[in-house]
Each structure stands twice: as C-alpha cells, then as structure tokens.
Structure 1
Amino acid sequence: MRNEIMLTSVKNVKVKNWRKLKKKKERDIQSQFIVEGFHLIEEAHKSDWEISEIIYQTGIEVAGEWTNYPMFEVADNVMAALTETKTPQGILAVVNKTKRTEQPVQRALIIDRVQDPGNLGTMIRTADAAGFDTVILGKGTVDLFNDKVIRSTQGSMFHLHIYEAELSEEIQNLQREDIEIWSTALENASYYHEVTAPEKLAIIVGNEGSGVVPALIEQANKNIKIPIYGQAESLNVSIAAGILMYQVAKK
C-alpha cells in the first residue's frame, strides 16, 4: 500500500498533521501518536494496537507484513522534521490510541504525578519484566504518549493494560474487587521485605519530589518502605518501584 508520491516539503498538509502529533493536545484530539524505529514499530505491529500508517525515509527498506499498512516515503528533510531521536532509523509509524477495556488485575502499579518521562517509561518496562499486568496513571503524570516515555518503555507499553484514572476513585474500585492497595510512605510503614504479598495487589508510587499524596496514602490498606543503608536520602522512584515489583512478582 505504498504511496507513489514522495513527500518532500514540511509544508505538505500530511506532514503538518504528523508534526502536530509531537504535542499532547493534538495527540488527544487525533487520538494518535508516533513511534520511532524498527523495534517499537514491530512491538506495535505484534500487539492489539492499530497502526494507521508507516512513514519511511528514502533509501530505507521496508519489507514483510508492514507493507500491508498505508506507507509514505518522505525526503530526508521531512524525516528530520518528524524525528525526535539523535540517531534516527528513518522509519516512523502513526499508531491509533486504544480504548480502555475492563481487564482482570492481579498485579498493578499505580503512578501518582510522576513527571519525568524516563522514570515513567522505565517503570512501565520494569512492570512488564516483573509480570505485572496493569499500570494506572494518575492526574499530573507525564503523558504516556510522550516520545521519551515511549522510547523508555522499549515496547513494553504495548504489552500491558495502561490507562489514566482519577486515583482516589480507582483505588476504591480496585478495593471493591478485593485488590489490596500498598502505598509507598515513610510514616507508619512496614519494610517491604517484612510483609507478605496477597493474591491481588496494587502498589502506589509517587512524585519524584513529594512522593504519594497523603490522601492516597490514607486510602491504602498498607504502607511500605525500602530501607536506606547508606547516606542517600531517598531512591529514584523508578528504582524503588522496580525493587517493590520484583519483591511481589508472581513466579
């Protein structure tokens, strides 16, 4: 389904629409986002996410099942205007956002106002590796479809059930489904390695500077913390989340 005309101008209407997807507002309006590189496109292709079109730079070879998607060849200057990476691979895909569907939760990570794209992407990737099935994003958390987040997930965002929610309400919903909620906290908290994980569990981690908001800590069934043996004041949130998720991972 190759487009026979190569797009050479950044002023082309199609190119302008693609460039708009760099902004969250436009991603929300169009309900689409862009992924870069062969690996991420393959992960999207293998998932239940829908690829809308593939954009490839002149000279890049695209073969196999990907050629079933609408494809657009672009000149070097157009690819340079679209890409966000320092060493682009010359291929992008426009992916449609998926609608949330109800799915059973065994292990979930709840993220409260984490703002660094690398931290969010790393936590999603680690959740995938630790066998978690769900990631819930609260208000104030960096956009899942931010380019840096997508690249940091290394494709794991296509493997998990990830959705945004009002966390206070969602915690109540989870508790009604007999899912125990643990919150990271410093006060009135047990060390993570001294508690036993239940069959169904969700863990809340919070903002890089201020942690989990007190109201959510109050809602949790249990508060947990990680011991600090050296002189560091705290752990990076993605490192802390990784420690906790692997502690409760289902083998």
Structure 2
Amino acid sequence: MEVIQSTKNEKVKLWKKLRTKKFRDQTGTYLIEGEHLLLEAFKTNEVLEVIIQEDKELSTGWAINHQEIPVVLISKEVSEHISDTKTPQGIFAVCKKRNTKVDFVQHSRFLLLDGVQDPGNIGTIIRTADAAGVDVVILGEGTGDLYNPKVIRSAQGSHFHLTIETGDLIEWLEQIKQNEIPLFGTALEGAVDFKTIMPTESFALVVGNEGAGVSKEALGKTEKNLYIPIYGQSESLNVSIATGILLYHLRK
C-alpha cells in the first residue's frame, strides 16, 4: 500500500488540481470526501482510487468487497492540503465522471435547472429531487458544475442515484415535449398558483437562476408556469426550497 506524506508529491498535486473545473473536465475525474460519499460511490463502480488519512478507518467490510481498488495512505498534512473543507474528514476518493443516459420510456419525472449558479443550491436541489423520486436532473448551460466540491457535498451522495445530464436546455425541453410529458415552468408573472395543478405520474419542472429566474425562451416552451404564494413579507423563496415544494406537490 502506497504511503504519501509530502504535499509536494506528484499525486497530491493532481488531487489538488481536481478542485478546479478545468482539470476535472480534462481528466474526466473528480474528488469526493467523506465516508458517506465513498460508500455511495462504491455502489456505482466509479471509484478509481481511495485515499485515507493514516489515522482514519473505513467501515468494517469495505476492503473485502473492494480489494481491486487502489488505496493510498496520506498524512494529516496532505489531507488538509487536498481537502475543500476547514475540517477534513480524512477519507477521499478519485471517481470517474458519471456516464448516464436519459430513457424516455423508463424515465417520467424530470427536473431542469436554468442558470442556477450557487453550488450549495444545486447540491440541495439534487438531493431534494432524489428524495422526491425524480428520475432525471438536467443542468442547462449557465448552471454550475455538477462536480464542484460544494455541489457534491450538498448533494450528499444523491448525484450517484439519479440520471444527471447537461446541455442546451431548450433542446432538452423540446425532447420532453415531443415525448408528451407535462412541462411546467416557474415564474412570478403569467403563472398560476401551484396548488391548482393536480399531481401527476409524469412531469417536467424547470427552475431558474436565483436572481433572474427561468429565461423567457424556456418559459415559452412550457404548458403552464407556476408560482408559490408568499404569505409573509419575504420577497421570494430560496430556489432549492421552492423546488422542494413544487416537486412534492407535482408527484402523484
């Protein structure tokens, strides 16, 4: 088993670079941190390398089931160097980016993100979509990177459970319409109270940028646009909270 104690080690430099989108895109890999995420990643056969701080241990039995995966022991200094958090958990893994595919026969519940940029919101939305039984999450252009460490951390492993795609949002919306899936947008004007919509087995929901909302072009593709009434003095809801309310209402 390899042991690395210096932050100047070439492997450590590469792990550190995985905190940047450019290097993640170049290599098709990303770094996760924490035992919970690692155990979820093991279920997908996407783990390329396990990295453990010398004084840390994983749950009993993991080594028996995953003997083929290389394991590297690192010092606390290296752990702090590659971690994206102030208090590293000391357990990391390099994973290959997910390769999923939308199946309009098997998949019936879609969530599309239009320009959502805050990593914490993106991760929370993915986690909420997973809990609400969404099949597919689509990150449109202008939405933050799925493999940003903060997104991964906020999603709490849910990105391993869902089909997640990226690309031109309008093209995805057109495909959804062609497959006769009810398509809803979110807006403040020209929209109906979400409670007037009956829950359904199949739906697609578009949520938008924290400030600008869903683009006019995307809203032009929807069947109906929804709003959530504000009963207090707040001007709006956080996009992840609003998404959760709508997903749980729409799901039959």
Deviates more, 1:63-72 or 1:114-123: 63-72
Instruction: Tell whether the 8 Å contact from 1:49 to 1:158 is kept in structure 2 after alignment.
Output: no
Aligned pair partner of 1:61 in 49, 57, 65: 57
Letter in 1 for 2:22: K
| Counterpart residue type for residue 55 of structure 2 | G
Counterparts of 1:214 and 1:197 in 2: how far apart (Å)? Answer: 25
Mapping of residues 25-40 of structure 1, within 5 Å? 25-40=22-37
Q: Label 1:102 to 1:49 Cα distance change in 2 as closer, same or farther (>3 A).
A: farther
Equivalent pair of 1:49/1:98 in contact (CA under 8 Å): no
Contiguous gaps of at least 5 residues in structure 1:
none
- 2:201–2:251 contact (8 Å) kept in structure 1: no
Partners of 1:177 and 1:65 lie apart in 2 by 42
**8 A contact 1:37–1:92 mirrored in 2:** yes
Q: Please name the residue that 1:98 is paired with.
A: 98
Shift of 1:105: 2.2
TM-superposed CA distance for 1:107, in Å, is: 1.0
* Counterpart position of 1:9: 6
Distance in 2 between residues matched to 1:102 and 1:131, nearest whole Å = 15
Partner of 1:218: 220
Equivalent residue for 2:189, pick from 180, 187, 190: 187
| 3-state SS of 2:232 partner | coil
Q: Map of 1:96-175 to 2, 5 A cutoff?
A: 96-103=96-103, 104-175=106-177
Deviations 1:118-165 (A, max 9, x none): 111111111111111111001111111111111111111111111102
For 2:21, give the aligned amino acid: K
SS of residue matched to 1:227? coil
Contact 2:182–2:223 (Cα < 8 Å) also in 1 = yes
Match of 2:82 in 1: 82
Deviation readout 1:178-212 (Å, 9 max, x if unpaired): 11210001222111000124432110000000100
More divergent stretch after superposition (95-104 vs 136-145): 95-104
Deviates more, 1:57-66 or 1:165-174: 57-66
Q: CA RMSD in A?
A: 1.3
Alignment-derived partner of residue 241 in structure 1: 243
Count, aligned residues: 246
Cα distance change, pair 176–99 in 1 and its aligned pair in 2 (3 A): same
Moved over 4 A (4+): none
